[in-house]
Amino acid sequence: MALLKKAQIQTGETIAVVIIVVFIIVLGIVFYFNFMSGTIDEDRQRASDLDSVSTAIFVSKLNELKCSRAASASFICFDLYRVKAFNESLNEPMIGSVYHSLIGYANATIRTYYPEQGKEYTFYSYEPSNITGERSSFIPVLLSDPVENKKYFAYLEVKVFS
């Protein structure tokens, strides 16, 4: 009888050890995957920030928007008529698809602040149906009107959507 009880206790011990070991393994796996998903989130955020800045730089350096050679040598200068032409050209599907793939989901707007404040030109707008986040970058630019022979201090806002 005592022997049987001892055997039962030993079997119970073995089962308990197995259960605890399995529990520890499962706990380890859960911690590991939580840690990995945290790292992936951080990487995704960093990639998103990089993406936002590189998109803003890309838009600000588009040759399609730049002033003619004489307008500005040292500042980022946008030609008002190129900006308008670019905006209208995006309505053409072939051209629109090229810039959608180049720039991605974003809004690009120029806002003047001197000498006239508040003039706004949104020359690129491509928003996803479901916006989960957005990041804006601001770059000071010159906006040149070669017909009126005027220049404005302005800033370019590029809002990248995710």
CA gyration radius, the chain: 30
Q: Residue 58, by phi and psi: left (phi above 0), alpha (psi -120 to 50) or beta?
A: alpha
Site for another protein in 84-143 (CB under 8 A): 84-86, 88-89, 92, 94-95, 98, 101-102
The one-letter amino acid code at 71 reads A
Nearer residue to another protein within complex by CB, 43 or 116: 43
Nearer residue to another protein within complex by CB, 28 or 133: 28
Q: How many residues bind another protein (CB under 8 A)?
A: 31
Q: How far is the CB of 124 from another protein (least distance, A)?
A: 12
CA distances from 95 to 58, 74, 101 (A): 17, 29, 10
Nearer residue to another protein within complex by CB, 32 or 138: 32
Q: Is 157 in the site for another protein (CB under 8 A)?
A: no
Beta strands in the chain (DSSP E): 77-79, 106-114, 120-126, 134-145, 150-161
d(CA 32, CA 49): 26
Site for another protein in 26-85 (CB under 8 A): 43, 47, 50-51, 54, 57-58, 61, 63-64, 66, 68-70, 79, 81-82, 84-85
How many other C-beta atoms are found inside a 10 Å radius of the C-beta of residue 15?
Answer: 10
- Interacting residue ranges for another protein, rule: CB under 8 A: 43, 47, 50-51, 54, 57-58, 61, 63-64, 66, 68-70, 79, 81-82, 84-86, 88-89, 92, 94-95, 98, 101-102, 146-148
